[in-house]
């Protein structure tokens, strides 16, 4: 069920009244049933995989919790009769058992994700090497599996770390795993924040409903007016790497940057708005990312929940792990600077390789991830140089001009890296990128070139105006939440804004007969 | 505590670590700095900070970090 579909709007129109009309204690059951409908609508196989995740994570979390309880009881009983070393040995035995349960569950859940993401690619690789018919060509990601696997496994890891107690009711864990707005394109949520509020009773609040409607409408506005329009041109440019070169690639970079922003943030706006409508707070996934002054800062502001997940469950554990510390000590003879950098460098590169792999099985994603890691490490190493530059030219570096320069530099850098996302092979991506410096064809771009991409000048004008509106609102948002300010002006004003948003979507949006509503770009990850 | 402040100043000489209470939440210490810091703490204090303790509230101020080091040190004993 696509967000931009009548079926979804109907689904919401039925769910919201029912949700608030039933007794509050069974609200979460209604939500669970709605999730089941949404998941089954997306396909039977997806429902099966999700059920496997729920059952295995529930069983593993309960087993880990039980092992903690037994450990405490055993150690307490041993206190008077056993030595400290014996108690430590007993604790280690329990730790070993917990780790085993965790590893089995991780292998199973990530195994499913891996098989669906990489099965087809491995099949082709195997056929290429050994001949025969490639296996696994029907394997494809099921609805939301990349997102709910990470969220639910995150919960299990938190139980393993004793950060949260294991949930006793399997249906509540099922509700967290299957919460329908999160299945389209995340964000990756935490049990501690979203999981708990899902099962709490929620009373209807007219002001919250209006606020949520504004957020949802704004999400659709970005998706249907800007993203779906620009996506047509981006797809046309990416489809013919041998034809569109030189300055077309620069145009492609900018169009894709705007398109991806409108698409992903638009989808998350709808997700968070739907959550808000049901009284559930969902984590923000963006903080005006295109205003970042460096790539590291950008990654703290774009797809925040994925970055946080990797940081919390991979980067830090890996950096402080025994093998990493041993490696760090082992390299001390190469100098203190090298040995201290070993954990940071290896963990950073591994996390970025995994981030690339999370996005897809294509080699382009892996290269994209690693290049991001390299750029981040390079900027860290250049920090002393930047500091000297700032100290030498304080007036320049504190000026609005310089801040603007760093923002534009970051957008261009991240857009250059994203070219890898647009093509099927690394070779095409690099060849297209470098053609910007070897082929000068602005004339062709503006002599009907951009009109050959499936959009009319009217489309470009609408999309460009949409981008300007998004940019202006982001500037205003720096001084505080815009919705709060609109709502402060009263219900009439808020309803008027909502009607303007809906009206402009109806006039300028790409939808209806003859138009193929597209899924969100991040849904394919 | 003075030893810890010296380590922190090595990373960010411009920051007043005695008063700052939003080192992670305020974006002063990035994940890169946190790992460097943990490596330095192990070198200087002989204390290994486990992954589950790497949360903002333990790294937001020098005082919180020192309390963490002390707590883990006592557990090790």
Q: Do B35 and A344 touch (CB under 8 A)?
A: yes
Give backbone dihedrals phi and psi of A83, rounded to 5 degrees, phi first.
-80, 170
Give chain B positions within 8 Å (CB) of A296: 30, 32
- Quick: pLDDT tens for A496-509: 999 999 999 998 88
Could you tell me the CATH number of the domain that includes residue B58? 1.10.1200.10
Give chain B positions within 8 Å (CB) of A343: 35, 39
Measured distance CA(A115)–CA(A194) in Å, rounded: 28
Residues composing chain A: 525
User: Three-state SS for A207?
Assistant: helix
Cα Rg, chain B, nearest whole Å: 11
Measured distance CA(A456)–CA(A469) in Å, rounded: 20
Range of the domain at B15: 2-76
pTM comes to 0.89
> Which of B51, B68, B76 to substitute to test the interface with A, most A CBs within 10 Å?
B51
Query: ipTM value of the model?
Result: 0.89
- Quick: pLDDT tens for A237-274: 999 888 888 888 999 999 999 999 999 999 999 999 99
3-state SS track over A79-139 = CCCCCHHHHHHHHHHHHHHHHHHHHHHHHHHHHHHHHHHHHHHHHHHHHHHHCCCCCCCCC
Domain count, chain B: 1
First to last CA, chain A: 17
Chain centroid to CA A349: 19
Give chain A positions within 8 Å (CB) of B39: 328, 340, 343
Q: Do B54 and A320 touch (CB under 8 A)?
A: yes
Q: Do B30 and A296 touch (CB under 8 A)?
A: yes
Give chain B positions within 8 Å (CB) of A376: 32
pLDDT band for position A5 (50/70/90)? confident
Q: Rounded to a whole number, what is the distance in Å from the CA of A174 to chain B's nearest CA?
A: 25
Spatial neighbors of A364 by CB under 8 A, at least 6 apart, are A420, A421, A423, A424, A425, A426, A429
Mean pLDDT, residues A54-81 taken together: 93
Measured distance CA(A176)–CA(A159) in Å, rounded: 15
- Quick: pLDDT tens for A150-200: 999 999 999 999 999 999 999 999 999 999 999 988 899 999 888 888 999
* Cis omega (within 30 of 0) for bond into A360: no
Measured distance CA(B58)–CA(A304) in Å, rounded: 21
3-state SS track over A333-401 = HHCHHHHHHHHHHHHHHHHHHHHHHHHCCCHHHHHHHHHHHHHHHHHHHCHHHHHHHHHHCHHHHCCHH
Q: How far is residue A88 from each of residues A3, A74, A82, A502, B75, measured CA to CA in Å?
A: 53, 11, 10, 64, 12
Burial class of residue A426 in the structure, from the number of CB atoms within 10 Å of its CB (0-12 exposed, 13-18 middle, 19+ buried) = middle
Residue A398: both structure tokens together = 């504190």
Angle made by CA atoms A377, A295, B52, in degrees to the nearest 5: 65
Q: What is the pLDDT of residue A447?
A: 78
| Domain layout of chain A by residue ranges | 6-201, 206-282+423-525, 293-417
């Amino acid at each position: 069920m696509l967000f931009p579909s009548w079926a979804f709007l109907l689904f919401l129109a039925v769910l919201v009244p029912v949700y608030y009309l039933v007794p509050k204690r069974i609200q979460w059951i209604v939500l669970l049933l709605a999730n089941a409908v949404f998941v089954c609508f997306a396909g039977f196989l997806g429902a099966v995989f999700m059920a496997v995740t729920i059952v295995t994570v529930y069983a593993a979390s309960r087993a880990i919790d039980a092992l903690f309880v037994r450990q405490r009881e055993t150690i307490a009983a041993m206190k008077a009769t056993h030595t400290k070393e014996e108690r430590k040995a007993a604790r280690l035995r329990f730790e070993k058992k917990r780790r085993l349960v965790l590893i089995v569950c991780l292998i199973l859940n990530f195994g499913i994700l891996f098989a669906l993401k990489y099965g087809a690619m491995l099949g082709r690789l195997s056929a290429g090497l050994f001949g025969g018919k490639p296996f696994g060509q029907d394997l494809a990601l099921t609805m939301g599996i990349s997102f709910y696997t990470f969220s639910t496994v995150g919960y299990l890891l938190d139980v393993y770390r004793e950060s949260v107690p294991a949930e006793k009711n399997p249906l509540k864990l099922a509700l967290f795993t299957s919460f329908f707005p999160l299945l389209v394109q995340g964000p990756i949520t935490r049990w501690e924040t979203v999981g708990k509020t899902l099962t709490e009773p929620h009373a209807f609040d007219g002001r919250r409903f209006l606020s949520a409607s504004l957020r949802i409408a704004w999400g659709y506005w970005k998706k249907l007016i800007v993203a779906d329009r620009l996506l047509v041109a981006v797809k046309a440019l990416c489809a013919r790497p041998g034809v569109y070169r030189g300055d077309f690639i620069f145009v492609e970079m900018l169009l894709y940057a705007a398109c991806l922003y409108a698409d992903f943030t638009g989808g998350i706006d709808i997700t968070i708005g739907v959550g808000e409508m049901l009284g559930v707070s969902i984590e923000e996934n963006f903080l005006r990312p295109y205003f970042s002054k460096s790539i590291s800062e950008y990654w703290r502001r774009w797809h925040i929940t994925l970055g946080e997940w990797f940081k919390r469950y991979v980067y830090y554990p890996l950096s402080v792990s025994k093998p990493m510390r041993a490696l760090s000590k082992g390299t001390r003879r190469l100098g203190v600077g090298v040995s201290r950098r070993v954990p940071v460098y290896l963990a950073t590169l591994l996390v970025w390789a995994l981030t690339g792999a999370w996005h897809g099985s294509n080699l382009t994603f892996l290269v994209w991830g690693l290049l991001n890691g390299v750029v981040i490490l390079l900027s860290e190493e250049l920090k002393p140089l930047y500091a000297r530059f700032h100290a030498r030219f304080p007036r320049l570096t504190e000026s609005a001009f310089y801040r603007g320069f760093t923002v534009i530099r970051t957008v261009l850098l991240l857009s250059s890296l994203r070219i890898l996302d647009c093509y099927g092979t690394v070779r095409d991506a690099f060849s297209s990128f470098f053609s910007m410096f070897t082929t000068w064809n602005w004339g062709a771009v503006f002599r009907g070139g951009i009109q050959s991409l499936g959009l009319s000048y009217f489309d470009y004008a609408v999309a460009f105006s949409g981008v300007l509106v998004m940019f202006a609102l982001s500037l205003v948002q720096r001084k505080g939440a815009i919705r709060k300010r609109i709502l402060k002006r009263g219900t009439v004003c808020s309803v008027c804004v909502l009607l303007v948003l809906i009206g402009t979507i109806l006039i300028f949006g790409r939808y209806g007969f003859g138009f193929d509503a597209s899924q969100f770009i991040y849904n394919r990850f | 505590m003075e030893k810890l402040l010296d380590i922190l100043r090595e990373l960010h000489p411009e920051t007043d670590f005695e008063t700052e209470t939003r080192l992670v939440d305020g974006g002063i210490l990035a994940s890169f700095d946190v790992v460097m810091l943990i490596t330095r703490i192990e070198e200087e204090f002989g204390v290994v900070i486990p992954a589950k303790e790497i949360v903002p509230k333990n790294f937001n101020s020098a005082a919180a970090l020192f309390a963490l080091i002390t707590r883990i040190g006592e557990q090790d004993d």
